[in-house]
Every structure is written in C-alpha cells, then in structure tokens.
Amino acid sequence: MTGRIDNIVECDGALVLGGGIAGLFTALKLAPMPVTVLTGARAGAAGSSAWAQGGIAAAMAPDDDWRAHAADTIAAGAGLCDAAIVEMVARDAPDRIADLLDYGAPFDRKADGSIALGREAAHSKARIVHVKGDRDGAEISATLAARATATPSIRLLEGYHAVELAVADGRVTGLFARCGSGAGTRLVLFRARAVILATGGLGALYAVTTNPLEARGEGLGMAARAGAMIADPEFVQFHPTAIDIGRDPAPLATEALRGEGATLIDENGKRFMTAIHADAELAPRDIVARAIHRQITGGHKVFLDCRTAVGLTFAQHFPTVFASCQSAGVDPATQPIPVAPAAHYHMGGIASDARGRSSRDGLWVVGECAATGLHGANRLASNSLLEGLVFGARVAEDVRGLLAAGIDRPVPPAPLLAALQPPPRLLREAMSRHAGLERDASGLMQLLDVIARVEQAGNGEAALLNITATARLVAAAALARQESRGSHWRNDFPATEAQGQRTLLTLATAQAVTQHPTRRAAP
Ligand SMILES: Cc1cc2nc3c(=O)[nH]c(=O)nc-3n(C[C@H](O)[C@H](O)[C@H](O)COP(=O)(O)OP(=O)(O)OC[C@H]3O[C@@H](n4cnc5c(N)ncnc54)[C@H](O)[C@@H]3O)c2cc1C
C-alpha cells in the first residue's frame, strides 16, 4: 500500500504515542486536558514497562537523601550525566512515587506499614520501591492502564503502528499510523498540536535482548528522520544476567538477586567478579556485563548462584524469574542459573530539555526514547521508570501551558508502507556482533555496510527506514566516539578521555560521520 491517506483524525489537545509507563503517566498527568494515546499493542501490557522486575529508585528512607541518589546516578554515568537534570529527577522522585500510590500502585510494605525498600547494584542505600517482589512493571502498568481507561479525557487507541511524523512549516503537527493488516491495512493521519513520543527503547535491534520485539527504536528513527537532534545513541546498556536458555527475547534474572547476595560463578563454581571490582557482583552494570561477556568469549559458562542468598524462598520472592527458570527445567533454589549479557536499555535517544521538549517544535519526548542527560554513559538500575514518571509530569505541565495557540497544519504527503516485518535478522546479528559490549572501527564500518544494504532492500518503506535510521545513529556515534566510557567499549580505543563530552547529532550528521569515519560527531 503506498501514498494514500485513508482517514484524517483531528485530536483535541495532545497526542501521545506509546502505552508504556511513560506514555500512560503523561496522559494521566495531562487530564483533564483531552489526550489521544496511540499504541501498537495493548496499553499497559506491551513494551518494556510491563516487564520491569527491579523497581523504581527514590530516596525515601529516613537515612537516605536525594543528594545521595543524585551522587550514585552521577557516579554510574561515567562523566556524562547532566548534573542539573540528575538533581531535578532525584528531588522529584518521592513525589512521583506518591502519585503512583494515589493512582493505586500496590507497592510492597513492611510489617509497620511503611514502603519496603530494596537495594540494587551501585545504589549506596536501599531505595528501590517494588511490587510483589519482581512484578513491579506488570502491576504498575496495569494500574496506570486501568486508571487511563477510566479517565474520560483519555482516548486509548490500540493497534495503531506509527510510521512517520507529519511535519508542516518546520513544526511536528501529527503522525501517520497504520492499522489492520494485509489488504485491510489503512493509513491514518492523526493531527494534534502537541505530539509526545513515548515509544521506548531499541533492544530488539539486537539479536540477544531482554526487550520485547516492539522495542525497535522506531520513535527515535521517526524523530531523526523529521530532523530532531539525537543525543548519546552509542550508549546501549547490556543487562549482565539475562537467563541463557535460548529464548528470544531472553528472560531476565533481576539485579535485585545480586542485591540479595547472589554470586556469579563459572562452570567450576569459581567466582570471578571479586578479582575485577571492589564491589564484585554489585559493580556497575557495564563492568559486570563485560566481565561475563569476556568469560563467555574465553570459552567459559557463567551462572548466577542464588542457592545460598535466596534459596528456598525464591519462588515466593522472585516469582517471574522462578517461572522463567522453571520453563527451562532449572530450579534456581537448588541449581545455578545459566546467564549471559543481553541488550537491555538505551541511554541515548531523542535529545530533550528539562521540560521534555525535543529540538523540533510541536514534539515532546518522554521515557526510554528520550535522552534527557539523566543516565550519562551508563544508567543506574531502576532510574529509567523513574525518568519516565518525572518527565511525564514535566511534559504534561509544559504542554498544558502551551496549547492555547492555534496552529495551521497543511496535510503532508503520505509515507510508503509495506507489510510489517520483524527487524531483519541480518541487522540484529550485525548489531550484536559490531555494536555490542565490545566495538572497533572495522566492525562498526561493516555494520554500517549492513545497514545500508538492509535499507536499500527496503525500497524506502517507512517503518524500515525508522529502524535503519536508529541503527545508523548508534553505529555512527559509536564510530565517532574514539574512547571507552560507560557502556561504550572500543577495543581500538580502550582509554577514557579526560574530558567527557555528550554526543549530539542529527541523522544528516550520522550520514556524514559514515562517509568520514575518523571525524567526531559535532558536540
Ligand atoms: C526485562 C526488563 C526489566 C526492566 N526492569 C526495570 C526496573 O526494574 N526498573 C527500571 O527503572 N527499569 C527497568 N527496565 C527498563 C524500563 O522497563 C524501561 O526503560 C521503561 O519501561 C520504558 O518505558 P517507556 O514507557 O518509555 O517504554 P515502553 O514501556 O517500552 O513502551 C513503549 C510503548 O510504545 C509503543 N510503540 C513503540 N513504537 C511504536 C510505534 N511505531 N507505533 C505505535 N506504538 C509504538 C509500544 O507498543 C509500547 O506501548 C527494564 C526493562 C526490561 C526489558
């Protein structure tokens, strides 16, 4: 199907793309302003949000303080965090948890009725709120989805796959989305004065990932193709302990297990993290993930040993992980869990300011698809759901203040569509091989060749162009960053430069970096 718009829908108020925690929370915060929430799959059930297992970080304990939370975030970020943004997020965190409590989120409590707080890697205090052990993502998503469904100002439209932003006179004025399949596919132009992308991450562009298959970086690609500035795309976090049972996506053994004292061992039962970092298994994610990756590429097998730390309470405290292990015949109470690193979280994204504004008028971004400067080169565990909440509230406040002005919106030409396909296997494998835990110039150049070939084969189809734009931005920024920092490791540039600089680039810059690989992306 090409070039025909079947329907034009005028949205009163704002249009949110994405039904994860970031999109739903933003919509709720916008109420009673009218909001249309579009999502490809079921709101609150699809996307990474529903899969989150660890929890949400907030300095709420009497012996904790937002300053300590901010300091831990900055330490994890390897020199690239925006200190003002980190401070803002750490300060706002307890208020956003209070909002979730108001919406009905059933956080775990202690016997005295206070909220139970867990500890995770690289947090100096216990500050992770959670639900039913490891079910926080599913429970909070379901709570927000139910609340959004019951809110009269929110119109939830599921089953729409967005493929392109509509741009008129330099302003984002809506988006094109397809619905239906085969001969019944229809292309709808949704027009709105404020478009808010909450489309999540890009893990599914990698062959081994913990992310659901809809996390394909499409929102990022759409924004980049519309000329928006992209920040830090080279920083992709790998979760150290995906459960290695050959499933796609790979189920996760939450970091909280290491917080409880679980250890990493090789096939001989030998711990290896104690020789690598003073915090051993609780070292920053990139260090743990790279150590496991090197064990595996060195011919070893790696296991997470929870037998002593969690033991027979496993099923009760970590029901999701327990079920995943059981599906592969592993009893984690009595057997070590086989693990391997997997693409998990994108620190980079569409560049945003403190109000969630992108560099394009009319376009706001929130959640994992945004790059706010909170995470720097490496995300601190449980800060991502928090970022979606804090920026959701801020985007809502900003959009509410701005929507008074009338805007002229001519109808742009329709994009080219083809039947929706999963990301090409060739691309996913090349991303894992060349833009994974270890990178070098020759591999990244090979990856750029693969991206060009995949793009060419797509004949200009819009959804594929979003995916290849995102992959190109990751590869080009990784090529341009000639140092190792945080989650980005270059075998040919292992040193860290004294002065850290964030990456800011457009798709056009990424294309130029591709043509002149020794040039750095413009700061
Ligand atoms: C297994 C796992 C465990 C995690 N555990 C934690 C944790 O404990 N704590 C924490 O802070 N973070 C955790 N994370 C990260 C966190 O879950 C995500 O960063 C966060 O949920 C992102 O929320 P979001 O709303 O931005 O995106 P998502 O929840 O991914 O939602 C994206 C939405 O956009 C929609 N969408 C995307 N593209 C399109 C399109 N083209 N058209 C229409 N709709 C589209 C999707 O259908 C979905 O509704 C975890 C991630 C995973 C994968």
User: DSSP letters of 265-317?
Assistant: EETTS-B-GGGT-TTGGGS-HHHHHHHHHHHHHTT--EEEE-TTTTGGGHHHH
pLDDT at 440 over 90: yes
First to last CA, the chain: 40
Which range has the worst mean pLDDT, 3-12, 25-34, 477-486?
3-12
Instruction: Round to whole Å and give the CA distance between 157 and 39.
Output: 6
Across the range 206-211, mean pLDDT stands at 94
DSSP for residue 380: P
HSE (side-chain half, CA atoms, 13 Å) at 268: 6
pLDDT at 133 over 50: yes
Instruction: Round to whole Å and give the CA distance between 46 and 41.
Output: 6
Across the range 283-310, mean pLDDT stands at 94
Q: What is the pLDDT of residue 53?
A: 86
Query: Does 487 contact ligand 1 (Cβ within 6 A)?
Result: no
Q: Whose CA is nearest to atom 37 of ligand 1?
A: 199
CB neighbours of residue 447 within 10 Å = 25
Query: Does 93 contact ligand 1 (Cβ within 6 A)?
Result: no
Query: Does 51 contact ligand 1 (Cβ within 6 A)?
Result: yes
Confidence of residue 417 (pLDDT cuts 50, 70, 90): confident
- Note the pLDDT tens digit of each residue in 246-296: 999 999 998 889 989 999 999 999 999 999 999 999 888 889 999 999 999
Residue 374 Cα to ligand 1 midpoint, Å, equals: 17
Query: Does 17 contact ligand 1 (Cβ within 6 A)?
Result: yes
The residue assigned the tokens 């994890």 is 76
- Closest atom, ligand 1, to C-alpha of 41: 47
Q: What is the pLDDT of residue 410?
A: 61
CB neighbours of residue 131 within 10 Å = 22
Across the range 165-176, mean pLDDT stands at 94
Q: Among 385, 390, 464, 467, say which to mutate for ligand 1: greatest number of ligand atoms within 8 Å of CB.
A: 385
β-partners of residue 302 are 266
Percent of the chain, pLDDT > 90?
84
Query: Does 219 contact ligand 1 (Cβ within 6 A)?
Result: yes
Across the range 42-56, mean pLDDT stands at 91
Tell me if 22 sits within 8 A of 368, measured CB to CB: yes
Instruction: Round to whole Å and give the CA distance between 177 and 255.
Output: 36
Q: Among 36, 163, 199, say which to mutate for ligand 1: greatest number of ligand atoms within 8 Å of CB.
A: 199
Tell me if 169 sits within 8 A of 408, measured CB to CB: yes
Q: What is the pLDDT of residue 522?
A: 41
Q: Which residues are catalytic?
A: 285
Angle at 9 between CA 6 and CA 12, to 5 degrees: 175
Query: Does 55 contact ligand 1 (Cβ within 6 A)?
Result: yes
Tell me if 468 sits within 8 A of 455, measured CB to CB: yes
Q: What is the pLDDT of residue 256?
A: 85
pLDDT at 22 over 80: yes
Which range has the worst mean pLDDT, 109-113, 204-208, 402-406, 501-505?
402-406
pLDDT at 418 over 60: yes
Residue 455: both structure tokens together: 């793009």
Reported pTM: 0.93
pLDDT averaged over every residue in the chain: 93
321 — alpha (psi -120 to 50), left (phi > 0) or beta? alpha
Confidence of residue 409 (pLDDT cuts 50, 70, 90): low
From 316, 253, 311, 313, select the one nearest 108 (Cα to Cα).
316
From 19, 11, 31, 18, select the one nearest 396 (Cα to Cα).
31
Which range has the worst mean pLDDT, 161-175, 259-273, 405-419?
405-419
